[in-house]
Amino acid sequence: MSSPFLLKPCDAKVTQAIKNLNATFNGINTGEDETSSLNTGASQGVTEGSTEARNRNVAKPLSGLGLAVKDLFDIEGLPTAAGNPDWLATHPVPKSTNSCVASMLKAGAAFKGKTITDELAYSLHGQNKHYETLVNPAAPAHIPGGSSSGSAVAVSAHLADIGLGTDTGGSIRVPSSYQGLWGLRTTHGAIPCDNMVALAPSFDTVGWMTRDLDTLSKVANVCLDSAAQSDIPNKPRLGIATHLFEQIAHKSLCQTWLNAFEDSNNCIALSETRLDLNTLQTAATFRTLQGNEIWQQHGEWIENTQPNIANDIMLRLDWCKTITTQDVEEAKAQRTVVINHLNVLFEEIDVLVIPTTPGVAPRCDADETTLANDRNALLALTAIAGLAGLPQLHLPLFTLHNAPCGLSLVGKKGNDLALLALAKTLTTR
């Protein structure tokens, strides 16, 4: 199986930077043998500096949990490549660490390495031509999903316990679905996006993936400000987007699961007219606004550097350049329509239940047309939370044709922790 880790311990600067991280955040010294395990996936052994340091580390909420970090997050002393060698060559080694990474390390998480991402994070498929192809451990014949694919693979392959990533257009939710992981896209703005490579700031969020809900919740309690969170009623009104479930490959699995708790929960079936994604133009609206911001962020660098970027991503970047002011204004107006529509909907429901993806991951040998169609279908679903800045939690409940899939809970802004609590209730009944 290919390694999702980008950094190798043979680089003396990298080795020293990892030692510095351990010393700074956990008060421990890591020996040479243990440093090697950071990138090979072996269990990390740690030489404690003192009994006091050992006791202090055990008490931390993320103690003993390995952390894989998407290569968009800056970490002091470690290069950030954003999935592209030309980006790496034209940007200095960071002198600061992203605040979310720092919080997790301070909470005792053991840094395992930085992970491969799709170039500039502008994809949902987890395929990067510059690095060895990532294998989806849960379904090797299928793509891993992107762009937080490396972090997802690290967790799915038990090389790490926490996969830190970003979600702009679905890059936490999609790999979580494709690899059978729990995944949380947080409320937009709930976690600062400092010291990291942006894609489209109006949509960029920090998120993470784990193999179990308890670990996902532990990370959430470390990274989210509980004072800024809001509750969901004890008996929430669950709005089931029935027409969306009818359109997906795993509809029978979803329906069976939903039917099982329908009698004991306040479920409201939402007809197509209540959430018509075609009429709301979720995919097209998101694509235009995201594309415009991407070009604002990276257009100058692309034109000046002429980087070597995969053809499919470069085609989308070239299209981003053509987006007009009128296109943006029309898309902003439609985004307002979508937000207003969802606000009205959330007056009648507390949580929206939707498919995360249209089905299992496409096969590795899928042609470009199939992958493009998959991306378009994904965006229609993922843009619901994206356009409105809402939190979305993926539940890895099902397997279809030996590949994972699931569904999602979407809440109001600030419902992140409440969604986790609800998911625990729904999955332990």
pLDDT digit string, tens, across residues 15-31: 777 777 777 787 655 44
Name the helix (H) or strand (E) containing 262. helix 251-262
Block residue for tokens 């969170």: 229
d(CA 122, CA 311): 12
Residues 376-381 have a mean pLDDT of: 95
Name the helix (H) or strand (E) containing 267. strand 266-270
Provide the total of helices (H) and of strands (E) in the chain, helices listed first. 16, 10
* DSSP classification of residue 145: -
Highest mean pLDDT among 47-56, 102-111, 257-266: 102-111
pLDDT digit string, tens, across residues 278-326: 999 999 999 999 999 999 999 999 999 999 999 999 999 999 999 999 9
Helix axes of 99-106 and 12-26: crossing angle, nearest 10 degrees: 60
d(CA 264, CA 429): 10
Residues 97-111 have a mean pLDDT of: 96
Beta strands 237-241; 266-270: pairing state: parallel
Kindly report which listed range (116-120, 159-163, 369-373, 378-382) carries the lowest average pLDDT score.
Answer: 369-373
Beta strands 392-400; 403-410: pairing state: antiparallel
Note the Cα 295 to chain centre separation in Å. 21
Beta-bridge partner residues of 68: 113, 163
d(CA 345, CA 401): 34
CB atoms within 10 A of CB 10: 9
Block residue for tokens 């003396």: 12
Residue 48 pLDDT exceeds 60: no
- The token duo for 301 is 């660098």
Q: Are 361 and 136 in contact (CB under 8 A)?
A: yes
pLDDT digit string, tens, across residues 147-182: 999 999 999 999 999 999 999 999 999 999 999 999
d(CA 170, CA 121): 11
CA distances from 326 to 162, 199, 316 (A): 42, 21, 19
d(CA 277, CA 247): 12
pLDDT of residue 42: 29
pTM here is 0.92
CB burial of residue 301 (10 Å; 0-12, 13-18, 19+): middle
Please compute Rg for the chain using Cα positions: 21
d(CA 164, CA 179): 15
Helices in 263-310 by DSSP H: which ranges?
Answer: 277-280, 282-305
Residues recognised as catalytic:
70, 147, 171
* DSSP classification of residue 403: E
With the C-alpha atoms ordered 6, 9, 10, 11, is the resulting torsion angle positive or negative?
positive
Residues 194-215 have a mean pLDDT of: 98
